[in-house]
Structure formats: structure tokens, C-alpha cells
Amino acid sequence: MNADVSTDNPVLQDRFGRTIDYVRLSVTDRCDFRCVYCMAEDMTFVPRAQVLTLEEMARLARVLVQLGVKRIRLTGGEPLVRRDVAHLVHNIGAIDGLRELNMTTNGAGLPRHAQALKAAGVDRLNISLDSLDPERFRALTRTGDLHKVLAGIEAVGHAGFRRIKLNSVILRGRNQDEVPALVDFALERGLDIAFIEEMPLGAISEHDRALEFVSSEALRNQLSQRLTLVPMAEKTGGPSRYWQVLGSDSRIGFISPHSQNFCHLCNRVRITAEGRMLLCLGHEHSVDLRAVLRAHPTDDVPLRQAIIDAMAIKPERHDFNLAPGEQLVRFMNMTGG
């Protein structure tokens, strides 16, 4: 049953009885990196007029929280390349009823933004880091400078965030050999780290996703030879599972959209920078919330209703396929990772 706009404590529920209380909001589709698994080398970005203004994003966030959303993650593209993003963070962080405001970033902007993000209310940060070798890092991100990202990780270490997690997409023959070093890097700094299976989002020619795919299970076996990993009971409502590293505060996660399917526990939706609510990472089912926001600039009722109605088209599950021609056309930077 879906929520009613008039109830005091509405909850977003889909046809399969899942409660949606987590939203990933893409602040921009633009980025200063061009990671080989996320983007093509030559990208066309959405014209600025089509991207939600920061005020529209904050309004949308407020309405989502009124509808029962407890956690919002700001992502992209790269959220830190959007001008005045700290202002947006501050406005969303101040929404009554929001339990957690998080951000996923490539880290390059953190030396400049870390303190402001913490002051503005960001609880948890995810920072992407696929290699500790500057040349490899450059090859994987095409434009990224590892030293800036390492300086960013250093800066957030001093800023007092509740939890910092590194995210690494692992590709066979590219950075799989660095998995132990990335884990050591995280453990030495008291950080968590999650390894992500590559997803077939967007047509790329840089590599064959099927050939470079590494499963979470293979990585866990690789790591279990040198660390004792204790499975954690906590459920994330997504395709990630965490293991505590015995003798350390750090946790190692494996994000397995391919090899594990946790769709029956899915608690989330995504909103693109243009205000399109995507009901599932692996499908195109979506609702244009920008049109509603702009048609009713001062009345939130139609927006609330559109969000509630959207729950009816949330697909039951995704079904990723790595075969060429079967991959989704939507790139990850459009999706809001």
C-alpha cells in the first residue's frame, strides 16, 4: 500500500511491500575525472538549464524527508565540482527528521571542502580510490591526480566525520593485484573499504566489461588468506555486505550487484541531476520530478503525490547483463552512483 499525502507519518512503500527511506541525489552529472568504467572519454553533459537548481534540490529533499526518507546520499557525477555545493549540504543537513546526510566523492576536492562539509552536516563520506600507483590511477581515471585524492583523504581524517569509507572498483588485470595494498592503506588509517563489482552502465569501448569482471567472492577469498574476516549481521538494504577485520575497527565491504541479488531488501531510489527519479539502478523506470517542481513552484502537494505514485512502478529486481548490446545506455555519472 502506498502512503497517503495527508497522514502525519507517511511512509513510501512499493508494490512488493518494500519501504523506501533512502535516496541518492545526484548533484551534477559533470566530473573532473573520466573513470574508464563510469564514462566514455568524450562525454556530453546535460545543459545547465535542465539541471535542478540547488534550491530545487533542497526543496525536493525536504519533501522526501516529509514522506519518510531517513537517509540522503549526495553523489553524481562529482558533487564537489558543483558550485556552492556546501550551501546545498547545509540546507539539506538542516532538514528536520533527516537522520543521515552522506556524500560520495572522488576526493580531489576534499582538501578544499572537507571542513566545510563537516560543518554543514555531512555524516559519512565515501571516497573512491582504485589505485595507489599515480600512473595507474591516472590511467583508470584518465584525468585524476592521485596526490590530490590522498591529500583529500588526509584532510577528512582531521575533520571528524562519523565514518569514512573508500570505494574501489576492481578490474581484472588492471588493479586486482592492489587489493591487499588498498586494504592495508585503509586499515592503517582506521577507514572502511568496499570493493565494487563493475556494473554495465553506459556503452564503453575502453575495455570489455565481461573480460575484466572480478567477483566479490574471488576478492573475499583472496583477502581471507591474510586476514580474518568476520561477517557482520547489519543489512544495508543494498547489494553490499560487510566483514569486520579481526583486531581492527575497520570493515571490508563487497558490493556485488552481479553475483548477489538483494533486490528484495531494496530500500532506495535515485534522483538524477535533472530531477528524474530512477526507481531501480538496472531499469529505465523513472518519473520526471523536475516538471512537477517547476509547474508548482510554491505548492508541494503535487510533488508529494508524484513521489508517492512513483512507488507503483518500482521494478521488483534488476538483471544485469555484461554482453555487448545488452548493457544499459545510461552512464553511472547520469545515474547517481
Residues near ligand SAM (CB under 6 A): 31, 37-38, 75-76, 78, 104-106, 128, 167, 169, 196, 198-199, 201, 332-333, 337
In three-state form (DSSP H/G/I as H, E/B as E, the rest C), the secondary structure along 108-176 is: CCHHHHHHHHHHHCCCEEEEECCCCCHHHHHHHHCCCCHHHHHHHHHHHHHHCCCEEEEEEECECCCCH
77 near ligand SF4, judged by CB under 6 A: yes
Please answer whether residues 257 and 199 qualify as being in contact, where contact means their C-beta atoms are separated by less than 8 angstroms.
yes
User: Looking at beta carbons, which residue is closest to ligand SAM?
Assistant: 337
Nearest to 196 by CA among 144, 129, 148, 145: 129
Query: Among ligand SAM, ligand SF4, none, what binds residue 91 when CB lies within 5 to 8 Å by partner kind?
Result: none
66, 106, 175, 267: which one binds ligand SF4 (CB under 6 A)? 106
Phi-psi group of 268: left, alpha or beta (phi > 0 → left; psi -120 to 50 → alpha; rest → beta)? beta
To ligand SF4, the closest distance from the beta carbon of 104 in angstroms equals 8
Number of residues that bind ligand SF4 (CB under 6 A): 14
Contact stretch for ligand SF4 (CB under 6 A) within 70-78, 112-120, 149-157, 296-304: 70-78
* Given 25, 39, 129, 170, the residue binding ligand SF4 (CB under 6 A): 39
Give the nearest distance from C-beta 312 to ligand SAM in angstroms.
27
Should residue 71 be labelled a site residue for ligand SF4 when binding is judged by CB under 6 A?
A: no
Q: Which residues contact 166 (CB under 8 A, 6 or more apart)?
A: 126, 127, 128, 129, 153, 182, 185, 186, 191, 192, 193, 194
Count of alpha carbons within 13 Å of 16, Cβ hemisphere only?
Answer: 13
Which one of ligand SAM, ligand SF4, none interacts with residue 167, CB within 5 to 8 A by kind?
Answer: ligand SAM
Q: How far is the CB of 336 from ligand SAM (least distance, A)?
A: 7
Nearest to ligand SAM of 126, 286 (CB atom): 126
Q: How many helices (H) and strands (E) does the chain have?
A: 11, 14
Asked if residues 37 and 209 have their Cβ atoms less than 8 Å apart, the reply is yes
Distance CA 119, CA 123 (A): 10
Range in contact with ligand SF4 (rule: CB under 6 A) among 35-43, 95-103, 198-206, 306-314? 35-43
How many Å apart are CA 318 and CA 337, to the nearest integer? 15
Q: Does 333 bind ligand SF4 (CB under 6 A)?
A: yes
146-159 and 110-120 helices cross at what angle (nearest 10)? 30
CB of 324 to ligand SAM, least distance (A): 15
Nearest of 168, 189, 190 to residue 179 by alpha carbon: 168
Which one of 12, 23, 25, 38 is in contact with ligand SF4 (CB under 6 A)? 38
Query: Quick one: 98 or 108, whose CB is closer to ligand SAM?
Result: 108
Mention every residue, 6+ apart, whose C-beta is less than 8 A from residue 316: 16, 263
Choose between 266 and 332: whose C-beta lies nearer to ligand SAM. Answer: 332
Q: Grid coordinates standing for 7? A: 497522514
Stretch that binds ligand SF4, among 33-41, 244-252, 263-271, 302-310 (CB under 6 A): 33-41
Nearer to ligand SF4, 128 or 240 (CB): 128
φ/ψ (deg, to 5) at 103: -145, 145
Cell numbers given for 175 = 588493479
In contact, 318 and 263? CB cutoff 8 Å: yes
Q: How far is the CB of 26 from ligand SF4 (least distance, A)?
A: 9
By beta-carbon proximity to ligand SF4, the closer residue of 31 and 95 is 31
Task: Kindly tell me which of 77 and 315 has the beta carbon lying closer to ligand SF4.
Answer: 77
User: Which stretches of the chain bind ligand SF4, using CB under 6 A?
Assistant: 31, 33-35, 38-39, 76-78, 106, 128, 141, 332-333
